[in-house]
Structure 1
Amino acid sequence: MRDLDSLFDALAKSAFRRRFRLGARELLYLHEKGLDEVSAQARELVEKRLAPAAPHNDGRQTPFRGHPVFIAQHASATCCRSCLAKWHGIEAGKVLTEAERQHVVEAIRRWLREEGKRDVKPPADRRQRDLPF
């Protein structure tokens, strides 16, 4: 497995990985729930979607929005088994070990910790405003 410092140095050079940022709703969720709770949710998602030897819909199992962990997975290249192999040096086609699972969650957590330092702006209210009469 690749150490996280060298991984994040490499990810910083990828235009695709650099473009990921938490939206207002995801950032607010992270601040409200806290890093520990969101990290626990990340652990659950890793167990269900990445840990098996042949995950269902591998390569398409991680949405690009909707939860801070999903965005963090794309930003940290922990979104599918081929990205884990390419970026993290974690072999595809076998069940993830406990150490590999912890590595994946720590990569997600590290990215979320950095994103969480941004100011939280309330999400734009998309509901129709009251009419003036």
Structure 2
Amino acid sequence: MKTQELDLFPIDNQKECPSSEVKSKLDFDNIFDRLSHSKFRSSFYLNNKDKDYIAKRDWNTIRKNTADIISKRLAPADIPNDGRQTPMRHGIFPPFIAQHATGCCCRGCFEKWHNIPKGRQLSEDEQQYAVDVIMEWLKRHV
């Protein structure tokens, strides 16, 4: 039987993007529980190379680098290679793996899983939200 991917927000809430105030109160357990119902999203993990990468750096550096990646690869309104801009290979940059695991890898997935519409520049709050979700996933998987 094919596993169906679930959206993070029920259909009733799909009319508009939740405010950053609402997002800041989101329960990470709820987010990750919903993502765990997707066979694809739940297939991602950190291998030893990824864990070594993280061990050799402090969390602030990883967060800063993740924020930079989000601002360049996810935040623009128009991304020419949207859906293909985030590498899926281990050992490059562990937040790339976390982006796929959390649905923060492209604007299509970000819209589906986090109800933040594509076609417009992400706000600073929305970018920080993506970074927060990615960082939380990394911390839970180290």
Range into which the TM-score falls when normalised by the shorter chain? 0.7 to 0.9
Aligned residues: 116
Matched, 1:20 2:48: no
Q: Which residue of 2 aligns with 1:31?
A: 55
What value does the CA root-mean-square deviation take over the aligned residues? Answer: 1.2
Secondary structure of 1:112's counterpart equals helix
Q: Is the 8 A contact 1:49 1:56 kept in 2?
A: no
Distance 1:56 1:43 in 2: 20
Q: Which residue of 2 aligns with 1:60?
A: 84
Counterpart of 1:62, as a letter, is: T
Distance 1:25 1:11 in 2: 24
Q: Post-superposition shift, 1:5?
A: 3.7
Q: Post-superposition shift, 1:9?
A: 1.5
Counterpart of 2:81, as a letter, is: N
Unaligned segments of structure 1, at least 5 residues: 117-133
- Structure 1's consecutive aligned runs of 4 or more residues displaced over 6 angstroms after TM superposition are none
Distance 1:64 1:6 in 2: 24
Asked which structure has the greater CA Rg, the reply is 1
Q: Post-superposition shift, 1:23?
A: 1.5
Give runs of aligned pairs for residues 99-118 of structure 1, distance below 5 A. 99-116=125-142
**TM-score (norm. length: structure 2):** 0.77
Distance 1:62 1:104 in 2: 14
Distance 1:55 1:8 in 2: 26
Q: Post-superposition shift, 1:32?
A: 1.0
Q: Which residue of 1 aligns with 2:6?
A: none
